[in-house]
Amino acid sequence: MTGDYTVRGVPASLAQDGWWLSCDSADELPADKPLPQRNWADLSRKGSGALLALVVLVALADWLFWGYVPGLSVALFSWALFGAAALLNTPDKRQIKPALLLLLLTSLPVIEQYQALSLGFQLFGLIVAVAWVHLPVKDHFAALPAAALHLLRALPLTGLRKFLQTLFPKPSVPKSETPQKTDKRPSSLSKHFRNWSFPLGGALVLITLLLQANPLLEQSLVDILSFDLDLMVLLQRVLFWGGTALMIWPFLVPTRIQKSPQAKTTTPQNQKRLSFGLNAGSVLRALVMFNLILGVQSLMDLSILIGGAELPEGMTLARYAHRGAYPLLATAMLAGGFALAARPYLSSHASLKPLMMLWLGQNALLGLTSVLRLDLYVASFGLTYLRLYAMIWIGLVVAGLLQTAWQILKARSNRWLLLRCTSLGLGVLYLCAFVNFASVIAAQNLSMNSAQSPDWYYLCTLGPNAASGIQAAQRADADFAIPPDYAFCWQRAEDQRNWREWGFRSWRVSSYAGLDFDGTDTGKAKSDEDPIGR
């Protein structure tokens, strides 16, 4: 606007101040000023794509879970969340294939049946798979556990922290300025309020005027707003949406792992080892004493359990079995800890390693005797979930003791032992997720030849999953009879089922759910008065 070019009729003050017409943007900031804080739509480099995926996943979670019992829906939502994370991060094909395979394997237990164990495997597979696709290609596979733990720690609070940082950002302080000269810029929340206050206010005024002039529009608005609103249900649903969004966000947009400074290397002379109050002499004396004590205990147990020795007066075999099963299990677990603590001293004396092998072997035998005790107790009082889980746990402890003995014999590292014990435990738990323990318990308790009748109250609490075991006992014994008051306990209410709640195990036992266990089709449960049946 300056120079020889002059527009006639423009005031001189405006012509002199017309420099702003040559500026590209009125919001352009000088180069020395810091950039304004980013808003919610720019929380990460994914930007609008991550927000769109977040909205879609929250809507999907509402459609799958709200008002329904979890089942197949958990696996479907996990796959959708993994797919969104993979699309946003565009991982290498060498990463996405094994991550997808891991997710599918960990989804099988929850497809079999939704329970705490299967849900744990599903969450484990989802976290590891998403961390895998977030992992840079240049990083080694050994960095995957750290990435999975970082994602797990970020789940509860990262989404909420990012949201609060967006609403109330901290003003950036340029390095060239002192704190006294800091330019306090308006927060993102106040900026949004300033940008939207006039448009929304003007729109409300315009709508009010149009409603006064257009009765048809007024009636349409009244029809739209005339609905029954339950504020408590709406509040619960909004909280569900918010909580789901905060949990989903760390999966979509990962946070960087803060690399800690490398620790100083320590020489073997300066490196301190946890001694737990032990030394070579104390370990030698402890092993001698412990082995003698366990030897006496093992001989007495075997004489009673196998040799038929008599118990003290007034003590039954069932009481004897119940009294010692769990303390012996705790003793075997403590033995493994002592073996790890004493392992550094085994090379200081020639007799320490054979004594340690004897100690671990006796503890493994102690675990087997505790299994025999539990078996005697089950034969007298029946099988329950707790007794069945105790047997499985005792088996794992015995296997861990044998692996510890092999580690000491072959001079393996503690990491070698930890990896194999963890793999063994996870493998056994994974297989347990596919076992219908309710059917096993029902079949075992009904097949016992005892003078007293089965505990029908406990069998009723097992639910419909025990129906196959009960019918197996009925086929094995022609004189088998179920009390009429408990005949409905193992039936499934068809009107409460939905494909979102579907499970492979419930589908397998569904053929038993509509029978009265005598060949008569009864459909739904006979009575709703007894809470056990429900």
418-427: buried (b, 16+ CB within 10 Å) or exposed (e) per residue? eebbeeeeee
44-54: buried (b, 16+ CB within 10 Å) or exposed (e) per residue? bebeeebbebb
- Residue 136 CA to its chain's centroid (Å): 24
> What pLDDT sits at residue 518?
45
Tens-digit pLDDT profile for the chain (534 aa)? 455 555 566 565 555 555 445 544 444 445 544 444 444 434 444 557 788 888 999 999 999 998 888 989 999 999 999 999 988 887 777 788 889 999 999 999 999 999 999 999 999 999 999 988 888 766 667 778 888 888 888 776 766 666 666 555 665 555 555 455 444 555 555 666 667 777 777 777 777 777 777 777 777 777 766 666 667 788 888 888 888 888 888 888 776 666 555 544 444 444 445 555 677 888 888 888 888 888 888 888 788 777 777 777 777 766 776 676 677 777 777 887 888 888 888 888 888 888 888 988 888 888 888 888 888 888 888 888 988 998 898 899 889 989 988 988 888 888 888 899 999 999 999 999 999 999 999 988 888 765 567 888 888 888 888 888 888 887 777 667 788 777 777 766 554 567 888 888 888 877 655 444 444 444 443 333 333 332
Is residue 411 helix, strand or coil? Answer: coil
158-167: buried (b, 16+ CB within 10 Å) or exposed (e) per residue? bbeebbeebe
Joined tokens for residue 408: 């000491």
Tell me the CA distances in angstroms from 528 to 379, 485, 517, 519, 534, one per residue in order: 34, 12, 18, 22, 7
Is residue 515 helix, strand or coil? Answer: strand
Task: For residue 58, give every residue at least 6 positions away whose Cβ sits within 8 Å of its Cβ, in sequence order, or none.
Answer: 241, 244, 245, 248
Q: How far apart are CA 477 and CA 465, in angstroms?
A: 20
Please report where in the chains the tokens 């994974």 appear, as a residue. 430
Tell me the CA distances in angstroms from 27 to 23, 166, 198, 385, one per residue in order: 10, 21, 19, 69
Q: How far apart are CA 17 and CA 23, in angstroms?
A: 12
> What pLDDT sits at residue 418?
87
